[in-house]
Structure 1
Amino acid sequence: MNLFSNTISTLEKGLDYSSLNQKVISQNIANVDTPHYKAKQVSFQSMFQQSLHQLDANRTDPRHISFKQQGTHPAVTVKSNYQYNHNGNGVDLDKEMSELATNQIYFNALSDRINGKFQSLQSVIRGGK
């Protein structure tokens, strides 16, 4: 959806990231007592690189950094270096709950912002009424 700017599509990608992150955190919490389960995380860097790949910018000097990077997909990685329980489980429940709260705040901020964009579009369509 590219109406007037890339703002709505950027917010949409942010909501996609938040949704994927919510699923991964929920899986980690659900498997907190599963033996030998290793916690997973969503790589924000890959999402950021994907957004940069779609950014259209002109380089005025060859020494400037190119915005066209190798496209990557959202990556869910396993945190294999951590073991919090004696049964080999790698989930730290306190950390996961903290990440869950952070992700919820992030999702709420994005959804409020996209809601504001749609309300602005509605106002324009109605002629400012």
Structure 2
Amino acid sequence: MTDFSDALSLSTSGLKAQSRRLRHVSENIANADTPGYRRKTVSFETAMSGAIPGLVEPGRVRLDQSELESVFDPGHPMADETGHHNGSNVDLVIEIADAREAQRSYEANLKMFDQARQMSSSLMDLLRR
């Protein structure tokens, strides 16, 4: 039964990692118009603790250090003497692409979890006979 539990653990770690990634993507999209907001990114690392190779866990959240957009809005409270203020560095096209990729990865991990659960259930049914 350890192979089944290993498969469930692998898919669960992938589900958690993609869930966290989706959370950061949604934060980026929500703050796309927030002045001075820097895009958050998360990388994945192989989990070193545990006996199951291939477990993944999200790494540290990093702020994108690319240049902030300069927005001309003289009436804004954060505008300087030229009428410009710093916008965010969030690109909605990139965020939507990241969201789709994370969603598809989440669905793949969910399908793997369901397959392992079904196989385990089928094995138990066979053993009962």
TM-score (norm 1): 0.74
Q: How many residues align?
A: 109
- Single out whichever of 78-87 and 5-14 deviates more from structure 2: 78-87
1:38 aligns with 2:38: yes
Q: Identity of paired residues, percent?
A: 26
Which residue of structure 2 lines up, in the alignment, with residue 120 of structure 1?
Answer: 119
Q: Read off the aligned partner of 2:26 and give its amino acid letter.
A: S
Between structure 1 and structure 2, the one with the greater Rg is 2
Pick closer, same or farther for the CA change 1:105–1:88 going to 2, 3 Å.
Answer: same
CA contact (8 A) 2:42 2:59 kept: yes
Does the 8 A contact of 2:43 with 2:58 survive in 1? no
SS at match of 1:34: coil
Gaps of 5+ in 2: 72-85
By percentage of residues, which structure has more strand? 2
Q: Does residue 54 in structure 1 map to residue 54 in structure 2?
A: no
Task: Note if contact 2:38-2:63 (Cα within 8 Å) is conserved in structure 1.
Answer: yes
Within-5 A mapping of 1:1-129: 3-5=1-3, 6-44=6-44, 47-48=45-46, 50=47, 52-55=48-51, 74-84=59-69, 86=71, 87-127=86-126
- Given that 1:22 and 1:103 are in contact with CA atoms closer than 8 Å, whether structure 2 keeps it comes out as yes
Where does the alignment leave 5 or more consecutive residues of structure 1 unmatched? 58-71
RMSD: 2.3
Structure 2 residue matching 1:83: 3-state secondary structure: coil
**TM-score w.r.t. structure 2 length?**
0.74
Residues 28 and 39 in structure 2, CA contact (< 8 A), matched pair in contact too: yes
Structure-2 change in CA distance of 1:19 and 1:56 (3 Å)? closer
Q: Which amino acid aligns with 2:37?
A: Y
